[in-house]
Amino acid sequence: MDTTEVKKAGVSEDLERWENETLSSALERAPERKERFEGVSLEPVERLYTPAHSEGIEIGFPGEYPYKRGIHPTGYRGKLWTMRQFAGFSSPENTNARFKYLMEHGQTGLSVAYDLPALMGLDADSPLSEGEVGKCGVAVSSLADFEVLFDGIPLDQVTVSQTINAPAPIFLAMYLVVAEKQKADLNKISGTLQNDILKEYIAQKEWIFPIKPAMKLVIDTFEYCSENVRKYNPISVSGYHIREAGATALQELAFTLRDGVEYVQYGIDRGMDVDEFVPRISFFFNAHNDFFEEIAKYRAARVIWARTMKERFGAKNPRTMQLRFHTQTAGVSLTVQQPLNNIARVAIQALAGVLGGTQSLHTDSYDEALALPTDEAALIALRTQQIIAEETGVPNTVDPLGGSYYVESLTEKMISGCFDYFDKIDGFGGMVEAVEAGFPQREIQESAYLYQKAVERGEQTIVGVNKYAMRDEPIPVDILQIDETVRDHQLQRLEKTKSTRDNGAVSNSLDKLKKAARDDENTMPAIIEAVAAYATVEEICVALRDVYGVYEEPAF
């Protein structure tokens, strides 16, 4: 488009102003970019970066320690990232249909969203579940629901990620029982359980048990999978929810990796070999709006993890030092106002994840600020990934921004700032003790507050919200409606399950579980037995609560 055409497009005033300014005068008027909020250790972004900003910084090669440029020497030329769209709503039947719809259109991995009752260890018939069954994810109360959820989906051929934390061992058990019923070889089963309880106490607040017993359950899954399901990832240490709660990029990086360090230490304290179980630990990061900051965050994460595993824990296996991660675009960045703008946000955030070297990616749907995604919106989100993969040329070279003065400088600052946070957390005695003292919670609360004040003052722009807002009503968007009939449907199956199962076997299995918990044994075999007997999620959680108690957050 030439100058005349641009002027005709309605931007002539802006164009003429810049045509009449010299480059030097424009630079003189350009303010230094300030950080979005105070208290972040990274310096303000400078106007220009030169070799002096990356002097002495080791860039390295992909596939070589400390893996700044990626854990694989061939990058995406060897294998594209897994396109794993997060999905789950209403009944297991509806979610099963959505899974198959996405797979038919090119999705390469499944990622399950569970509803709030499931996340809190409640059944659909609990009084506390009213109004929430199937609303923010799929409703699952027992193995009977899980069997429907994965009907016709071969678990030895599709990798499945489950976003579940406090009751995660129960959902792992259901996954394994269904896989066995499908005659799947457990040695071939691969997938990921989120199972990151520390970030629940830090940010998402969906807990059941006190912190130390909850940590014990996590390590039970480590131990069980290490011995019985060796290709399965028993944890995905999640920074996503920490970032969504208001953390900065640096805080997300530091708290997530330090959570990972805590799990490693607890596994070693159990007697596990660092080079045996740590290679099955994966991570889950947010992809937010500051494009280069996000890319630097991912590059820094690999360096920090590699150095920490080698220097702190004496790891010798290269896979122990190679950080693998999933990325999801930032749900908190999506706006109700002008929701179609979210398509652009998601595309840019997804590109940052790919340029940062993610192994797996979820792209949010443009309507998620309004409701759970419609089929159309979910398909656009998947197509966004496919366009990046197939049309942009981005996967053709590894770490294309490696060597950028700006990106290398920003990566180094992320690394330094993260280790500073590590020192502070170690000063508490570890992440569990820091969480009990409220340290990461206060840091995130302060950052969230400062960010919101910056938005309200107009210092932090949100297009369509505090700048370029529209007076007219926005374009209407069809949204997914989930009514209360889903709860009625779930109650019918739950009632049938309870009336047809062997209740004696259920009772015996729950007694065994309580004994295992009291005797400090690995709880996974007893949980699997209870699940196979069709004990419900809430019944199993109640059995564990009888031994461990419940968590109540103190006032910090």
Q: Length of the chain in residues, anyone?
A: 556
pLDDT tens for 230-288 read: 999 999 999 999 999 999 999 999 999 999 999 999 999 999 999 999 999 999 999 99
Residues of the chain with pLDDT > 70, as a percent, come to 92
Distance (Å, whole) CA 301 – CA 70: 10
Q: Which domains are delineated in the chain?
A: 82-457 (3.20.20.240)
Mean pLDDT, the chain, rounded, equals: 91
Instruction: State residue 21's pLDDT score.
Output: 44
**Sorting pLDDT into bands at 50, 70 and 90, what band is 296?**
very high
pTM: 0.91
Instruction: State residue 207's pLDDT score.
Output: 97
Question: Are the C-beta atoms of 306 and 325 separated by less than 8 Å?
Answer: no
Mean pLDDT (whole number) for 103-127: 94
Mean pLDDT (whole number) for 455-459: 94
Task: Give the residue among 530, 514, 508 at the shortest CA–CA distance from 171.
Answer: 530
Amino acid at residue number 111: S
Task: Tell me the CA distances in angstroms from 428 to 204, 422, 434, one per residue in order.
Answer: 22, 10, 5
Distance (Å, whole) CA 26 – CA 49: 17
pLDDT surpassing 70 at residue 443: yes
Collect all residues with Cβ–Cβ distance below 8 Å to 323 and sequence separation of at least 6. Answer: 67, 71, 283, 301, 302, 305, 306
Instruction: State residue 17's pLDDT score.
Output: 45
Max CA distance (Å), the chain: 85
Beta strand 160-163 with 109-113 is parallel
**Sorting pLDDT into bands at 50, 70 and 90, what band is 43?**
low
Instruction: State residue 42's pLDDT score.
Output: 60
Question: Are the C-beta atoms of 186 and 229 separated by less than 8 Å?
Answer: yes
Task: Give the residue among 445, 452, 552 at the shortest CA–CA distance from 203.
Answer: 445
Task: Give the residue among 168, 238, 162, 166 at the shortest CA–CA distance from 199.
Answer: 238
Structure tokens at 280: 């099955």
Mean pLDDT (whole number) for 152-156: 94
Distance (Å, whole) CA 106 – CA 542: 40
DSSP states of 476-515: P-------THHHHHHHHHHHHHHHHS-HHHHHHHHHHHHH
pLDDT tens for 52-82 read: 999 999 999 999 999 999 999 999 999 999 9
pLDDT surpassing 80 at residue 135: yes
**Sorting pLDDT into bands at 50, 70 and 90, what band is 379?**
very high
504-513 exposure pattern, b = at least 16 Cβ within 10 A, e = fewer:
eebeebbebb
3-state SS assignment for residue 99: helix
pLDDT tens for 5-17 read: 433 344 344 434 4
Task: Give the residue among 314, 407, 391 at the shortest CA–CA distance from 352.
Answer: 407
